[in-house]
Chains A and B, each alone.
Chain A
Amino acid sequence: MNRIYLDNAATTFVSNEVLNEMLPYFTNIYGNPSSPHSFGREANAALDTAREKIATAIGAKPNEIYFTSSATESNNWALLGVAEYYQNSDKKHIITSQIEHPSILETCKYLESKGYKITYLPVDSDGLVSIAELLHNLNNDTLMVSVMAANNEIGTIQNLKAIAQTVKERGVIFHTDATQAIGAVNINVKEMGIDMLTLSGHKINGPKGIGALYIANNININPILHGGHQERELRAGTVNVPGAVGLGKACEIACRDIIINSQKLRRMRDYFVDKVMENIPYVKLNGHKFQRLPNSISLSFGMVEAEALMMMLDLEGIAVSVGSSCSTGSVEPSNVLKAIKLSPELAAGTIRITIPKSITKEDIDYVVEKLEVIVKKLRSMSPLTKSSIGEFDNV
């Protein structure tokens, strides 16, 4: 069976370029980068090179890049580390948005249980945070603000520079989770005024199990992992050297190819959406119409339940995700779809399609053909009628 992978926001394959760069670090250059001997020094040199590549990709200095195990760890560290450093200050207020990744939202809930006040900024129906709302909530107690660069479910890209500058003007620390944005959005932390930034390897054709946190040199933060001097005393644990090398290479490629990839993906994404809208009635496209990740398509199918749709597509070899893959398995509707005020029935019928660079028009034609048949079948089984649910982009 012809298999088509359309879940690239969940993870991506490791590209050959990245893999080849990594391979020597499993077998030949295997020293512990903390060791002072030549084996250790060559591993450490590899980390320096990787750090430089990541720093270049986001406009930071190499000594501001800290390797972690994942974006989840980076997000936890950013919030918990800053909160702990300032635990004896009066600043006990953190602002984030309602559409963040669970690694931000759950960490905020944890901090709430420790006495912090958290403001979850609402978003508009396109998924954008309002600067006015942000300004309104910033006060003298605000310690930090964390707003993601691009959303993992609906692909909306925030007005990052405006948000960062609004926060900086008030002297508050600004963190952004850029896991989905790297390679799709041009980010320069210095120009934009970003103090901390999370990124991850496996979303950009790099390996799993490696992430990084950029921490501007003037930002104070405590470690959350203890028991080693690694990463300038801030993140204990031997660094995953092959992973770090892979992340460095993946960032380099993502930024090198950003224009050509974005253009191609955008063309294919729009072809995909047009094809769906032409062939299947009662469909709604979620997220901002233009300010959206070039590979991301969030579609709500009226009268169809998303998990049933996803499973039937899977039986045809087509992999998509329900809302966001992070929330699959839970039966609760996604916080992002709730935040953009999608009707509950439409939220229940929402799938996320994230296309790869290699997709062809033939692939898209094939997927839409299957999608049309499956949606028709599920609608024939559905007790819902078109009048019972929300607004559609095509009727």
Chain B
Amino acid sequence: MYNEDIMERFVNPKYVGMIRGANGIGSAQDPKTNEMIKFYINVNEDAVIEDAKFKAFGSPVVIAVADATAQMIIGMPIVEAEELNEAKILNMFIDIPEERMYSAFLAVDALNDTIDDYAKRLRRLQKKLMQEDANLENVKADDDSENFDRDNDYYDE
């Protein structure tokens, strides 16, 4: 029913699974068929996707497309992954039946959701770091005032 490259990825997907401590997790579900793709990504400090894995509830094509997408984004800068579209995913296959092409849209939606999640986490992390920096400043200031007080105490004495 499907050609070899779809069947090979469907039967032996290499990028299926999850990443513990992933810094981007996102998914998308097709409203008509209820099929679902979920991605896990790990993005390094240089904003490059170091690792990617997927889980999928869907037809052989959905599973194959998810596997191909995960493979494609590994080693890709996040800004480039943001630009990924269904045509690029479909290009990874010799032939996908027309009525199954929505699978590539599903993969793109899931990937965008994953990148959004990564961006949110990043913003949260930055906020947290800034907060920590500010706290550190405050602590320092507190320390200084303590010293000052102590100094005052000292002077009082």
Chain B residue at minimal CB-CB distance from A307: B59
Q: Kindly state the separation between the CA atoms of A307 and B58 in the bound complex, as whole angstroms.
A: 8
Q: Is the CB of B10 within 8 A of A308?
A: yes
Task: Determine if B42 is an interface residue (Cβ-Cβ < 8 Å).
Answer: no
Q: Is the CB of A311 within 8 A of B57?
A: no
Q: Is the CB of A305 within 8 A of B58?
A: yes
Contacts A305-B57, A307-B60, A348-B33 given; indicate if A383 touches B38 (C-beta within 8 A): yes
Task: Determine if A329 is an interface residue (Cβ-Cβ < 8 Å).
Answer: yes
Task: Determine if B99 is an interface residue (Cβ-Cβ < 8 Å).
Answer: yes
- Chain A residues near B11: list those with CB within 8 A: 312, 315
Q: Is the CB of B55 within 8 A of A383?
A: yes
Query: In the complex, what's the smallest C-beta–C-beta distance from A210 to chain B, in angstroms?
Result: 28
Q: Is the CB of A333 within 8 A of B55?
A: no
Q: Is the CB of A311 within 8 A of B10?
A: yes
Contacts A308-B10, A311-B1 given; indicate if A331 touches B99 (C-beta within 8 A): yes
What does the 1/0 interface line of B61-102 toward A look like (CB < 8 Å)? 011000000000000000000000000000000000001101
- Chain A residues near B34: list those with CB within 8 A: 333, 344-345, 347-348
Task: Determine if A219 is an interface residue (Cβ-Cβ < 8 Å).
Answer: no
Question: B63: which of A329, A333, A380, A381 is its contact (CB, 8 Å)?
Answer: A381
Query: In the complex, how many residues of chain A place their beta carbon closer than 8 angstroms to a beta carbon of chain B?
Result: 22
Query: In the complex, how many residues of chain B place their beta carbon closer than 8 angstroms to a beta carbon of chain A?
Result: 26
Q: Kindly state the separation between the CA atoms of A299 and B38 in the bound complex, as whole angstroms.
A: 25
- Chain A residues near B99: list those with CB within 8 A: 329-331
- Chain A residues near B37: list those with CB within 8 A: 383
Q: Is the CB of A383 within 8 A of B33?
A: no
Q: Is the CB of B59 within 8 A of A305?
A: yes
CB-defined A-B contacts under 8 Å, sample of 29: A303-B57, A304-B57, A305-B35, A307-B60, A308-B10, A308-B59, A308-B63, A329-B99, A331-B33, A331-B102, A332-B33, A333-B33, A345-B34, A345-B57, A347-B34, A348-B33, A348-B34, A348-B35, A348-B57, A380-B16, A381-B13, A381-B56, A381-B57, A381-B63, A382-B57, A383-B27, A383-B38, A383-B55, A383-B57
Chain B residue at minimal CB-CB distance from A304: B57
Question: A381: which of B27, B32, B33, B55 is its contact (CB, 8 Å)?
Answer: B55
Task: Determine if B36 is an interface residue (Cβ-Cβ < 8 Å).
Answer: yes
- Chain B residues near A331: list those with CB within 8 A: 32-33, 59, 99-100, 102
